[in-house]
Amino acid sequence: MKSSFVSVVAALVAVQQVSAHSIFQDLWVNGVDQQASCVRMPLSNSPITDPTSDNIRCNGRPGISQKCTIAAGGTATIEMHAQPGDRSCADIAIGGAHYGPVIAYMTKVTDASTADGSTGWFKIFQDGWAHKAGGTVGDDDYWGTNDLNTCCGRMNVLIPAEIPAGDYLLRAEAIALHVAGSLGGAQFYASCYQLTVTGGGSASPGLVNLPGAYSPSDPGILVDIHASLSTYIVPGPTVYSGGTTKSAGAGCSGVEAGTTTGPAVATQTAPAVVATGGSGSGSTGGSSCSVTKYGQCGGTSYTGCTSCASGSTCSAVSPPSYSQCL
Report the share of the chain in percent with pLDDT over 90: 72
Residue 37 pLDDT exceeds 70: yes
Q: What domains can you pick out in the chain, each with its CATH number?
A: 16-257 (2.70.50.70), 269-326 (no CATH)
**DSSP letters of 48-71?**
B--TTSGGGTTTT----S--EEEE
pLDDT tens, 42-85? 999 999 999 999 999 999 999 999 999 999 999 999 999 999 99
Q: What angle do CA 55, 52, 7 make, to 5 degrees?
A: 100
CB 39 within 8 A of CB 171: no
pLDDT tens, 145-192? 999 999 999 999 999 999 999 999 999 999 999 999 999 999 999 999
CB 183 within 8 A of CB 52: no
Residue 285 pLDDT exceeds 70: no
In sequence order, what are the residues at sequence separation of 6 or more whose Cβ sits closer than 8 angstroms to the Cβ of residue 281?
35, 36, 37, 270, 274, 296, 304
Biggest CA–CA distance in the chain, Å, is 65
In sequence order, what are the residues at sequence separation of 6 or more whose Cβ sits closer than 8 angstroms to the Cβ of residue 195?
38, 67, 68, 69, 70, 76, 106, 112, 159, 167, 168, 169, 170
For residues 279 and 1, what is the distance between their CA atoms, to the nearest angstrom? 51
CB 78 within 8 A of CB 157: yes
Q: What is the reported pLDDT for 178?
A: 97
Q: What is the reported pLDDT for 281?
A: 33
What is the rounded average pLDDT of the residues 17-29? 82
35 vs 271: which has the higher pLDDT: 35
Give the pTM: 0.77
Provide the β-strand partners of residue 76: 29, 157
For residues 82 and 203, what is the distance between their CA atoms, to the nearest angstrom? 36
What is the rounded average pLDDT of the residues 235-259? 95
pLDDT bracket for residue 102 (50, 70, 90):
very high
Residue 7 pLDDT exceeds 70: no
Q: What is the reported pLDDT for 292?
A: 60
